[in-house]
Amino acid sequence: MSAEQQYYEQILSMGHTPESALTYTRQHYPDFIPGEAESIPAPVSEPISQQAIPAQQPVMEAPVTATPAPVPAAVAPMNTGIPPNAYTPMNIPVPASGVTTPMMWAAIGCIVVALLLSVMGQFSHSWIVSNDTEGATFGLTSAQIDCSFSEGDTEFNISKQQAIDSCKVMAYQMYSEDMAEAAAENKTASDLDDVIIGDMTHVCKNVYDVGEIFAMGNETVLDELDENKDECLETPAAGSTGGMILWVGTLGALLGAVMLGAGAMGQNLPANAEKYGKWTGMAAGGLMLLAVLVWWVLLPDTDADTSAGMGVWMTVLGGLLGVAAGILAFLDQK
């Protein structure tokens, strides 16, 4: 007899209905299909006497002393070493294959941290760090500059504070959606924060518009500026593609956390979805890593001196933790 069937019949012997016993058994053995329980012979209340024979049945000439059929002894319940009625539906023992183990909790912790890191990576403004311009970073589709890194120029008698103020005013206009409208607001440096954030698409367009003014109709320069603009726009396009993949990975991490958590607490989800938590966690981690790879491949080749920022490393770590969560859950349930 399998362990599942034995567990099922043990619950039946406690007085539960077959439906109730099946519910409790499938909490620990989701794929269990009950077989026929061992039948317990019912005790005979009174011996069978000769008078119980129908009158129509012929009687033998020689009298025969009828020996009553032996009464079968009551079948003793299975000796489990546990007093009868010791269990209730709330404290049925969890079998050895239960999932509430340290390894499973570690898997849940990994997938939760992976979920948080993927969200932080999605909204990070530091996927690309510019080594040419101090304080300038770029997210998947955003651009950010911290003007507090600006340095003065003693040769032109420009102090550090003057350099910071000039950076804030110029960055506010260049990082805005409508540069002319932003300039018309006449905001001073004191009205602006040191950190300016804008959409990278707007920055590419505004840089081209400023360059077009200084080109003064020079077709050669304008063609070069147009190529630079197209190249600049490839960066937010790559970030948008990578970001969509990362969103799918984030959703997968959320589902994986729910599935693994439900399995660890012995809760059943629709269609027994908790069984697939390990695969969902692995898939979520793989999608996070894929998002970084696709973004990196789609980035344009430039001569700019850049390096990977914190957003990249957070997402990569989240992907590795997602895969680790799936592996831990798989090893625990194996």
pLDDT digits (tens, 9 = 90+) for 188-213: 999 999 999 999 999 999 999 999 88
Q: Is residue 70 pLDDT above 50, yes or no?
A: no
Q: Domain locations in the chain? A: 1-41, 105-333
Is pLDDT larger for residue 83 or for residue 7? 7
Q: Is residue 287 pLDDT above 50, yes or no?
A: yes
CB 117 within 8 Å of CB 315: yes
Q: pLDDT band for 23, please (50, 70, 90 cuts).
A: confident
Supply the pLDDT for residue 267. 86
Q: Which of 24-33, 183-192, 221-230, 262-271 has the lowest mean pLDDT?
A: 24-33
What's the rounded Cα separation, in Å, for the pair 196 and 173? 10
Mean pLDDT of 157-186: 92
- Neighbour-count burial for 22-50, b at 16+ CB within 10 Å, e otherwise: bebbbebbeebeeeeeeeeeeeeeeeeee
Q: Is residue 334 pLDDT above 90, yes or no?
A: no
Q: Which of 85-89, 186-190, 296-300 has the lowest mean pLDDT?
A: 85-89
Supply the pLDDT for residue 36. 54
pLDDT digits (tens, 9 = 90+) for 25-68: 887 777 778 875 444 444 444 444 444 444 444 444 444 444 44
What's the rounded Cα separation, in Å, for the pair 248 and 265? 26
Q: pLDDT band for 100, please (50, 70, 90 cuts).
A: low
Determine how many CB atoms are found less than 10 A away from the CB of residue 64.
Answer: 9
What's the rounded Cα separation, in Å, for the pair 13 and 25? 13
- 3-state SS, 187-254, equals CCHHHCCCEEEEEHHHHHHHHHHHHHHHHCCCHHHHHHHHHHHHHHHHHHHHHHHHHHHHHHHHHHHH
Q: pLDDT band for 1, please (50, 70, 90 cuts).
A: low
